[in-house]
């Protein structure tokens, strides 16, 4: 199994001191390709930080509508691939015989990687078909003061970020503010897939009464992933996109951006944030 970080000698330069340069060891976030195969046929390749790769593959298949529950997967295992020495950068998933195989022809768009080039209505319609959960009816409520403090909880739980400063985080929280699970990755969408894949394998879907907090911005792809997992709330420490807000409104999801204590912007579903 590849490491999530590696050490490298760097030259650090500080023009305010003399001498200005010194050599030291620095930690870098690992970034390697992961190929996801279904029934031994390549489906997708994503650049990710090694770790929790089975969860990443399961979360990806969930958000792409290939599977909807853990029982849809017979086996999921890391494979050797063709690299020497062995890097285990391949996950092979075997679906239950009752599950239709994913479409892999060139006309098929994986919205996680190509949503920027798709018109808004087409994207939203496609996600609506894939989501199995009605989040609009979720009665979840969370106090604004409690919500404002969650980014600090997320940051405090990021172990690898402290060494590298180069990872995104996604955290699943209860309405009481308890952190259920956190995942880090060089890719924002991968961190979310790792969280959703964990929830799928643990039999927790739909994620009624929970919220997903991400360390970056709230994009369309992250909003669609949250919807496919049945999450009633997505919060981000940075800005949402226009299409993310449109999709959240369509789904009946609460979308919070610029969540930085003591402030936040609630773009949709403000009734779930109480005072």
Residues classed as catalytic: 116
Q: Which residue has the tokens 């992961």?
A: 34
- Residue 179: strand, helix, or coil: strand
Q: How many CB atoms lie within 10 A of CB 39?
A: 12
Confirm or deny that 259 is annotated as ligand binding: yes
User: Is residue 185 a contact partner of residue 31, using CB atoms and an 8 Å limit?
Assistant: no
- In degrees and rounded to multiples of 5, residue 227 shows phi and psi of -65, -45
Q: Alpha-carbon distance 125 to 166, whole Å?
A: 34
What is the token pair recorded at 115?
């949503």
- Is 260 assigned a ligand-binding role in the annotation? yes
> Is 262 marked as a binding-site residue?
yes
Helix intervals (H) in 45-149: 53-63, 111-114, 120-130, 144-148
Q: Could you tell me which of 105, 112, 104 has the C-alpha nearest to residue 130?
A: 112
- The answer to whether 272 is a known ligand-binding residue is no
Across the beta sheet with 168-174, what order do the strands follow? 179-185, 168-174, 210-214, 233-236, 254-260, 263-268
- Residues in Cβ contact with 91 at an 8 Å cutoff, skipping those fewer than 6 apart: 34, 35, 36, 37, 53, 54, 56, 57, 76, 77, 78, 79
Alpha carbons 206 and 64: distance in angstroms, whole number: 16
List binding-site positions. Answer: 258-263
């Amino acid at each position: 199994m590849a490491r999530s970080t590696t050490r490298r000698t760097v030259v650090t330069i500080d023009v305010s001191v003399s001498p200005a340069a010194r050599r030291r060891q620095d930690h870098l976030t690992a970034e390697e390709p992961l190929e996801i195969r279904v029934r031994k046929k390549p489906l997708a390749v994503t650049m990710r930080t090694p770790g929790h790769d089975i969860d990443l593959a399961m979360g990806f298949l969930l958000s792409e509508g290939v599977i909807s529950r853990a029982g849809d997967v017979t086996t999921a295992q890391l494979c050797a691939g063709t690299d020497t020495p062995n890097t285990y950068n391949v996950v092979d998933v075997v679906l239950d015989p009752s599950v239709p195989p994913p479409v892999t022809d060139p006309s098929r768009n994986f919205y996680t990687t190509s949503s920027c080039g798709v018109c808004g209505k087409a994207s939203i319609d496609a996600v609506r078909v894939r989501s199995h959960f009605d989040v609009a009816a979720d009665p979840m409520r969370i106090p604004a003061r409690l919500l404002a403090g969650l980014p600090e909880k997320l940051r405090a739980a990021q172990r690898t970020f402290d060494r590298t400063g180069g990872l995104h985080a996604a955290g699943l929280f209860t309405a009481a503010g308890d952190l259920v699970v956190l995942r880090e990755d060089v890719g924002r969408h991968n961190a979310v897939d790792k969280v959703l894949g964990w929830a799928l394998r643990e039999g927790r879907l739909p994620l009624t009464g929970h919220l997903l907090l991400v360390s970056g911005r709230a994009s369309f792809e992250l909003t669609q992933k949250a919807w496919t997992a049945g999450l009633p709330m997505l919060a981000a420490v940075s800005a949402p996109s226009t299409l993310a807000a449109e999709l959240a409104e369509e789904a009946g999801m609460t979308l919070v951006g610029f969540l930085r204590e003591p402030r936040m912007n609630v773009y949709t579903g403000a009734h779930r944030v109480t005072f």
